Amino acid sequence: MNIRLETADVGAAVAEVVFAPLGREDLRRYAQASGDSNPLHLDPEFARQAGFEDVIVHGMLGMALLGRLLEETFPSNPLQLFRSRFRSIIPLGEPIKCTARLEQRAGESAVLTLTAAIRETVVIEGNATLGLRPIQ
């Protein structure tokens, strides 16, 4: 998908990537890099005691996939705003489909709605504002 924000139809999907399932090693590396060693993400027994079937993916790691979607699809459009809301847990071993839709263009910016979904369940939603003028 190679769509220009300047000419895309409002409401159109302008970026979509299905990321491979995240595994335990991904969580361990993320925990080490981020300093978030919450046992819900690393210790299966702790996660079961908390009511989950297994460890769960860090929400911020899921958000990072949305950021990766933006960076890889629109590398020359400066990111002006990026925010998200976590709606559900992200389990291990499930592909994560990240989508960006053009919500509006206003002046020199484009506003995108973002979703990360497991199967058809949205686990993270958010929005981003990107500049329409390329980074010099």
Nearest C-alpha neighbor of 58 from the set 82, 76, 38, 77: 38
Q: What is the CATH number of the domain that holds 119?
A: 3.10.129.10
Q: What is the pLDDT of residue 130?
A: 97
Indicate whether 5 belongs to any domain.
no
DSSP letter at 92 equals T
Indicate whether 39 belongs to any domain.
no
pLDDT digits (tens, 9 = 90+) for 25-58: 999 999 999 999 999 999 999 999 999 999 999 9
Domain that holds residue 122: 13-23+57-131
Q: How many domains does the chain have?
A: 1
Q: What is the pLDDT of residue 66?
A: 97
Within 10 angstroms of residue 15's Cβ, the number of other Cβ atoms is 21
DSSP letter at 54 equals S
Sign for the pseudo-dihedral over CA of 18, 122, 115, 50: negative
pTM: 0.91
Indicate whether 62 belongs to any domain.
yes
Indicate whether 92 belongs to any domain.
yes
DSSP letter at 91 equals B
d(CA 73, CA 2): 7
Q: What is the pLDDT of residue 133?
A: 80
Q: What is the pLDDT of residue 4?
A: 87
Q: What is the pLDDT of residue 135?
A: 66
Indicate whether 41 belongs to any domain.
no
DSSP letter at 40 equals G
Share of the chain above pLDDT 70, in %: 96
Indicate whether 123 belongs to any domain.
yes
Region of residue 129 (left: phi > 0; alpha: psi -120 to 50; beta: else): beta
Indicate whether 110 belongs to any domain.
yes
Indicate whether 2 belongs to any domain.
no
| Residue 73 · residue 89 · CB < 8 Å | no
Residues of the chain falling short of pLDDT 70: 1-2, 135-136
